[in-house]
Copies of this chain bind each other. A is one copy, B any other.
Amino acid sequence: MIQEIKNNYKNLFEDELLEEINQVGTFKQVPEGFELIKPGSYIKSMLLIISGAIKILREDNDGDELLLYFLERGDTCAMTLSCCLGHHKSEIKAIAETDAKLIMVPIEKMEEWTTKYKSWRNFVFDSYHKRLIEAIETIDSIAFLKMDDRLLKYLKDKTKVNQDNIINNTHQEIAYDLHTSRVVISRLLKKLEQEGNVKLNRNNIEVIHI
């Protein structure tokens, strides 16, 4: 495992911390679609992402969903952090967007390390900063953009985290992430196709100009 950790975090963490992570962390491999965090649950360990991508969703009382942002290699989940440090319940849902490799670190170590390692502290602060910025960018999208631009932005984000211009999702799945209806997505995708932004096939969408 140590090699995987080093490959992804050696610039961020000092050797001693890398060694500790190696000792107390457990390696985990999950398939696409795996539910990593359920809303309302307590979290037992935090996750460091080695490869793949995780999507973070917000769910309201009626079960309606909305995509907040994606996490990638080198990222961690700020909600996990604050849940661990503050002992709050999870406010979000996390699903593996692609097959992913993770390291799970028990929560007891979290606080210990924030005292012990400056690099860890900075990592945690930086993660919070990034997530706050991304949450605010999500607000920007919802508040300032119309659905067609939100959709295009969503598709581009998807191609980025999946490193693939082809998006293998149904219109219904996209509608869930953007909290709208399938018909609306179909309509707007057709418009994007006519404008030359995407090419539509059954079960997949090719994004043209990235």
Residues of A in contact with B (beta carbons under 8 Å apart):
58, 60, 64, 66, 68, 78-79, 81-82, 85-86, 88, 91-92, 114-115, 118, 121-122, 124-126, 128-129, 131-133, 135-136, 138-140, 142-144, 179
Closest 10 CB pairs of A and B: A82-B129, A128-B128, A135-B135, A60-B144, A66-B143, A142-B142, A85-B125, A86-B129, A143-B179, A142-B143
How many copies the complex holds: the figure is 2
Alpha-carbon separation in the docked complex, A135 to B128 (Å): 12
The 8 Å CB contact of A125, one of B79, B86, B92, is B86
Partner of A129, one of B85, B138, B139, B144: B85
- In the complex, the answer to whether A139 meets B78 with C-beta atoms within 8 Å is no
Instruction: Provide the residues of chain B in CB contact with A122, threshold 8 Å.
Output: 85
Once bound together, how far apart are the Cα atoms of A138 and B139, in whole Å?
A: 8
Interface of A is mostly: helix
> Can you give 20 contacting A-B residue pairs, CB < 8 Å?
A58-B143, A60-B144, A64-B144, A66-B143, A66-B144, A68-B136, A78-B128, A78-B132, A82-B125, A85-B125, A85-B129, A86-B125, A91-B136, A92-B136, A121-B121, A124-B125, A128-B132, A132-B132, A142-B143, A144-B179
Q: Let me know if A132 and B129 touch, CB within 8 A.
A: no
Contact of A121 among B66, B86, B114, B131 (CB under 8 A): B114
Note all chain B residues with C-beta closer than 8 A to A118: 115
Contact A66-B139, Cβ < 8 Å, known A82-B132, A144-B60, A179-B144: yes
